Amino acid sequence: MVDGDRERRVTPFARRAKAGRDPRPGTPPTGQVARSARLAAVPVAYAGRRIAGLGKRAAGRDAADVQREIRTRTAEHLFQVLGELKGCVAKLGQLLGLLELGLAPELAEPYRQALARLHDSAPAMLPGAIHAELATHLGADWRSLFLEFDDRAAAAASVGQVHRARWHDGTPVAVKVMYPGARRAVLADLQVLRRATPLFTALLPGADTRPVIEALCQEINAELDYAREAENQRAFAAAFADDQEVVLSRVIAQRGDVLVTEWLEGVPLTRLIGCGEAAELDRLGVLILRFLFSAPARAAHVYGDPHPGNFLRMPDGRLGVVDFGACTPWPVAFLDVAGDVGAAVVADSPADLEAAIRRHGFVAPGGALDIATVASRLRPVREALLAPTYPLSADWLREQVRLATDLRLSNVLRQLTMPPDHTPILRSFLGGIAILCQLRTEVPLRAECTRWYPETAAAAGL
């Protein structure tokens, strides 16, 4: 009996569908109620662990050991739920991977370990579900397209998973298949995110958060379009075709929710961070910086999803790059903003900086602005632009995250806002900075600015 026949005859299938969950094992629940219930269970379980911890401490257990156990179990539970739900909340897991760098090492370690498991082993679709999706999008004779197809998932992402295979002409390929129900799951998450806009407004009262949140929602929703991702990848592959430092795979085929690309045989950075040689990690960090910086100039796109799982060290030492779903067209007008604000930062002129910030819409018209604090926060940027190289580290990022997430009313970020079309740039910047800090990269920021954007660099006084 085939999977489809078995599903039609088993009554729990109907109950799962009515509850908003995908009927196939290994696929994420898609209904808002089911997804919200999974997330709500995390703080409830955390509260239960804290109560149980009081009893353990009363029984003589060491308080530090009890707290460590609570953090570890909570981290494992949180990232297990994020992996099961996939969709936007799995992307939240990537964001938490940035935020955990802002925690003290002893507090961050349980989350770091759980996050690594989320990246490497998120719950996979079972073979029956994968075969059904391939038949839907590639046709009933999909097996004729491949000489080999591995049913085991080679990697899991927020909205799809990747399988190794060999194309009918012998080419090793990566087959990316979207999770059944991923669209409904993402749409449900986006509705939750839109409803959370008042919360962001409360945290950032000077910002017009609604259009920024909407821009982020549209960007995430666009990642569900594999045809668009294929076009992005073709554009990047053409732009970097002759590059001696970066390698990108060709698109082999794209049909519906299936994308087939050349397989890149490299070591993900997730396996190198923390155990690779310092000089090699620094070299890879420079290549990532160069790739992210040069992408708009060369491919006219922003690479929007930089995290360690999307970068590989190839056998010949080059940097391999995968996953182009989050790429967006480059807003050329941003160069004027960068030149204008950059000139004020390099000149260390608070008056010019405030004028540039107001002129380009980073503060509400007539809104208050503590320009002295803003200038102080941007001094590391000035140092990075003027020095031959600038050292990044987890400690440096930890301090920046601490300042950015300070909930006191005096936090200057509460006075700032951001034009919505800069959202992809911010996303790329934050992800890139997190990776470079993990790699402890000595960033040659000035050299890369002047190499790829000479007119903007000149306008900034570099």
pLDDT score for 15: 38
pTM exceeds 0.75 for this model: no
Query: Residues 20-32: what's their mean pLDDT?
Result: 49
**2-11, 271-280, 324-333, 427-436: least confidently modelled range:** 2-11
Predicted confidence (pLDDT) at residue 136 exceeds the cutoff of 90: yes
Domain for residue 299, yes or no?
yes
Domain for residue 110, yes or no?
yes
Please, which pLDDT band fits residue 50 given cuts at 50, 70 and 90?
low
Most confident of 142-156, 363-377, 404-418: 142-156
pLDDT score for 417: 79
Domain that holds residue 117: 31-121
Please name the residue ranges forming H helices in 139-277: 182-195, 197-203, 209-222, 226-239, 269-272
Residue 100 CA to residue 112 CA, distance in Å, equals 7
User: 100 CB contacts (<8 Å, ≥6 apart)?
Assistant: 108, 111, 112, 115
Domain for residue 316, yes or no?
yes
On whether the CB atoms of residues 338 and 381 are closer than 8 A, the answer is: no
Residue 170 CA to residue 151 CA, distance in Å, equals 18
SS (H, E, C) 84-147: HHCHHHHHHHHHHHHHHHHCCHHHHHHHHHHHHHHHHHCCCCCHHHHHHHHHHHHCCCHHHHEE
68's enclosing H/E stretch is: helix 63-85
Query: Residues 107-124: what's their mean pLDDT?
Result: 50
Domain for residue 95, yes or no?
yes
At residue 282's C-alpha, the angle toward residues 277 and 286, to 5°, is: 150
Predicted confidence (pLDDT) at residue 211 exceeds the cutoff of 50: yes
The residue count for the chain: 462
Please, which pLDDT band fits residue 365 given cuts at 50, 70 and 90?
confident
pLDDT score for 54: 61
pLDDT by residue (tens digit) across 228-287?
Answer: 999 999 999 999 999 999 999 899 999 999 999 999 999 999 889 888 899 999 999 999
On whether the CB atoms of residues 241 and 228 are closer than 8 A, the answer is: no
Domain for residue 281, yes or no?
yes
Beta strand 267-268 with 258-262 is unpaired
Biggest distance spanned by C-alpha atoms of the chain = 75
User: 85 CB contacts (<8 Å, ≥6 apart)?
Assistant: 28, 29, 35, 38, 39, 185
Please tell me whether residue 24 adopts helix, strand or coil conformation.
Answer: coil
pLDDT score for 63: 72
Backbone angles phi, psi at 48, to 5 degrees: -65, -40
pLDDT score for 204: 52
pLDDT by residue (tens digit) across 61-84?
Answer: 777 676 666 656 665 555 555 545
Distance of CA 243 to the CA centre of its chain: 25
Name which of 350, 360, 363 is nearest 205 in CA terms.
Answer: 363
Instruction: Tell me which of 121, 141, 173 is where a domain ends.
Output: 121
Domain for residue 416, yes or no?
yes
Residue bearing tokens 């290549």: 287
Name which of 290, 301, 286 is nearest 425 in CA terms.
Answer: 301
Q: Tell me, what DSSP letter sits at residue 409?
A: T
Domain for residue 200, yes or no?
no
On whether the CB atoms of residues 186 and 221 are closer than 8 A, the answer is: yes
Domain for residue 196, yes or no?
no
Q: By CB neighbour count within 10 A (0-12 exposed, 13-18 middle, 19+ buried), where does 265 fall?
A: exposed
C-alpha Rg value of the chain to the nearest Å: 23
Q: Tell me, what DSSP letter sits at residue 143?
A: G
Instruction: Tell me which of 79, 102, 121 is where a domain ends.
Output: 121
- Say how many C-beta atoms besides its own lie within 10 A of residue 37's C-beta: 12
The sheet with strand 258-262 has its strands ordered as 146-156, 160-167, 172-178, 258-262, 251-255
**How many domains would you assign to the chain?**
2
The amino acid that residue 87 corresponds to is: G
Backbone angles phi, psi at 92, to 5 degrees: -60, -35
Instruction: Tell me which of 121, 140, 156 is where a domain ends.
Output: 121
Query: Residues 298-325: what's their mean pLDDT?
Result: 92
Predicted confidence (pLDDT) at residue 110 exceeds the cutoff of 70: no
Most confident of 179-188, 342-351, 400-409: 342-351
Q: Tell me, what DSSP letter sits at residue 321?
A: E
